[in-house]
Amino acid sequence: MFFRLAFLAVAVLSLSADVLAQGSSTPSSSSSSSSSTAAKQVSKAAAPVDSGLDSGAITNGVYRNKTLALSCNIPPGWVLRTDEMNAPMEKKEDEKEAPAQSSAPAASSTGAKVLLAAFSRPPEARAEDVNASILIAAESAASYPDLKEAAQYFFPLTEVAKAQGFTADEDPYEIALGAKTLVRGDFHKDRGARVMHQSTLAMLSHGYAISITVIGGTDDEVEDLIDGLTFSAPGK
């Protein structure tokens, strides 16, 4: 049943892997419009979720979520794809009446929402390097009666990562970010001379399973993105 919780991880892993697979030495024709796209989108709030969880908002390049007491720095020039990441799930909500032919639940049944999806360049743009990204997702924990701790997230996540060609660096471990302790899992994927590094942090909060996934071309890039995450004490 926990494979539903890995749905958003599948989306990010697949998207990033596809972008890297399209790598080309030819500069992207979209690069000239990336900055203007980012400027237009940076003031937009993330897609709304259920009223019990703040959808968050972006101000001056920082995503903030009051419910989670979370702030996340978005590197300058990055583009947002939060609405696009949510759109496929919202579309499936309109198709719920279609009979299911598989035991695997539809994505729409998970109640999953992307709070933030940010990329170093448009996902459709081709380039040699890894498209660094940050994805923050939330899903109602009520969908998983057996979900008692964040570490359980990593059973399906590891299987999903392996299916995408990733290898776990080590067993999941706890990490403190400001006032919050989360569970973290690290993965890597070799693609010739390049390596894609992914770290996912998970926690349970306010009745939601929260995942924060960052992808980069080096360990240092991943660490820099994680350093941009901060959890403040409750009430602050």
| Residue 28 within a domain | no
> Is residue 190 in some structural domain?
yes
Residue 76 lies in a domain: yes
Residue 100 resides in a domain? no
Is the predicted pLDDT of residue 31 greater than 60, yes or no? no
Q: How far apart are CA 113 and CA 132, in angstroms?
A: 20
- Quote the number of domains for the chain: 1
**Dihedral sign (CA 219, 26, 133, 61):** positive
Classify residue 59: in a domain, yes or no: yes
Bridge partner residues of 86 (DSSP): none
Instruction: Provide the sign of the torsion angle of the four alpha carbons 167, 165, 109, 45, taken in this order.
Output: positive
* CA distance readout (Å), 224 to 90, 164, 189, 192: 32, 24, 19, 24
Structure tokens at 9: 């991880």
Q: Give the CA distances from residue 67 to residues 15, 51, 199, in Å, rounded to whole numbers and listed in that order.
A: 28, 10, 23
pLDDT for residue 138 is more than 80? yes
Establish if 214 belongs to a structural domain: yes
The DSSP string of 78-135 is -EE-HHHHHHHHHHHHTTTTSPP-SSSPPGGGGT-EEEEEEESS-TT---SS---EEE
Q: Is residue 30 one of the residues assigned to a domain? A: no
Q: What is the pLDDT of residue 200?
A: 92
Q: Which residues contact 52 (CB under 8 A, 6 or more apart)?
A: 67, 206, 207, 208
pTM here is 0.75
**Residue 83 lies in domain:** 2-23+36-92+107-231
| Contact assessment for residue 168 and residue 161, using Cβ atoms and an 8 Å cutoff | yes
- pLDDT tens digits along 84-104: 888 755 554 454 444 333 232
| 53 confidence band (pLDDT: 50, 70, 90) | confident
Residue 218 located in a structural domain: yes
Which among 187, 119, 182 is positioned nearest to 159, based on CA atoms? 187
Q: Name the more confident of 24 and 164.
A: 164
Q: Which CATH number covers residue 140?
A: 3.40.1000.10
The answer to whether 179 touches 69, Cβ cutoff 8 Å, is yes
- The string of pLDDT tens digits covering residues 189-223 is 987 778 999 999 999 998 888 999 999 999 999 99
User: d(Cα 89, Cα 84) in Å, to the nearest integer?
Assistant: 10
